Amino acid sequence: MGKPLGVGIVGVGNISSQYLANLPKLKNLQLIGVSDLDENRAKAVALEHGVRQFVGDAIFASPEVDVILNLTLPQSHAAVSTKALEHGKHVYLEKPFALSMNEALPVIELAHNKGLRIGCAPDTFLGTGIQTSKYLLDSGAIGTPFAASAFWSAPGHERWHPSPAFYYQNGAGPLFDMGPYYLTALVFLLGPITSVIGNTTRSNRSRFIHTGPQAGAPISVEVDTHICALLNHANGAQSTIMVSFEAWGSRLPTIEIYGTKGTITAPDPNQFGEPTLIYTEADPEWKSVEPLAGYFDAGRGFGLSEMAAAIANNRPHRASGALGIHVLEVMEAILNSGKSELRSKISSAVDPIDLVPLSREI
């Protein structure tokens, strides 16, 4: 292994704690420093982890930083990624890739023109859970897959998040916040999506912050909070997705894949290593499957580490910008279809993504 890739984090909000916990475990990455609009917050994180605090745009100009880990709010994703690329840095960013395809396409074009890598969360599909499900599909364990379903629901992030207002603004809602986990998994399992039919709605219930210093403050809802869609995949399979900030409770499975000879219940794609279940014509009882592929004990940051390994070995990385763009176009099309009540075609695609061999390290 060569010199670790120097990482600079822009945005040290809630999600950053998970990345910060995992980065020390990833030997091909070295955290150089952090930056945040809230300089006091950045200072505290820098002191805690023994790294530099960058102020303003200094993190983009630092020769020690090879890649910007963009953990800003979705409204800033495209601008921060663009600035990083313009300074010659690779980029790995939290989902969604951007707020719209109009924002996203210039970013991916800039990365291509500069010969820089851009990767995009979620990287949860690199864990043993979804990877094992894909291994079973590829091995023909349930015959030919022809359909799938994906469900996620909660009553709303305001019940636990101390500053949840952005979840109800443009670029968030259940589709842009949670949809990427489920759509990424579906694309990895069944291949690219070619068209969608969407249906979107919201209830009239009032929302307020439940915890933290803003508890009791009302929340303005600017997005639809219950989304359903039918998705057609290039391989002929059809999948169904529902994501909601409206449901108080649910017992629906997270992801199921239906084949001509059986069914796979895939684990929650918001997690990395939960077990996969299988039920087949030949063995009609639900059985848990031991891990067959993927990274053991994976966590957020493994996608960036895998991208660093791909750079070192001059091969494509798995949690790619192309995958992030494809998922973004699908989400945008679902919302547009919900408004127009028409099927929306998807113009982007993504190449097949190689399985991760069962391993503990990247």
Same domain, yes or no, for 195 and 340?
A: yes
Q: How many CB atoms lie within 10 A of CB 134?
A: 26
| Whole-number pLDDT of residue 123 | 98
Residue 311 included in any domain:
no
10, β-bridge pairs: 35, 70
- 95: CATH: 3.40.50.720
- Are residues 198 and 73 part of one domain? no
57 and 145 belong to one structural domain: no
262 and 175 co-located in one domain: yes
The number of residues in the chain equals 362
pLDDT number for residue 2: 76
Cis amide leading into 316 (omega within 30): no
Q: What is the pTM for the complete model shown?
A: 0.96
Domain tally, the chain: 2
pLDDT at 1: 58
As averages over each run of 10 residues, the pLDDT of the chain (362 residues) reads 91 95 97 97 97 97 98 96 98 97 98 98 98 98 98 95 90 94 98 98 94 94 96 98 96 94 96 96 97 97 98 97 98 97 97 96 89
Determine, yes or no, domain membership for 301: no
Structural domain boundaries enclosing 24:
5-120
Decide if 272 contacts 299 (C-beta within 8 A): yes
Phi-psi sector, 56: left (phi>0), alpha (psi -120 to 50), beta: left
Q: Which residues of 300-312 are buried (b: 16+ CB within 10 A; e: fewer)?
A: bbbbbbbbbbbbe
Q: Check residue 236 and report its DSSP letter.
A: S
- Chosen domain end from 74, 100, 120: 120
Statement to judge: residues 110 and 179 lie in one domain: no
3-state secondary structure of 306: helix
9 with 112, same domain? yes
Is there a single domain that holds both residue 333 and residue 205? yes
SS3 (DSSP) at 255: strand
Is residue 351 situated within a structural domain? Answer: no
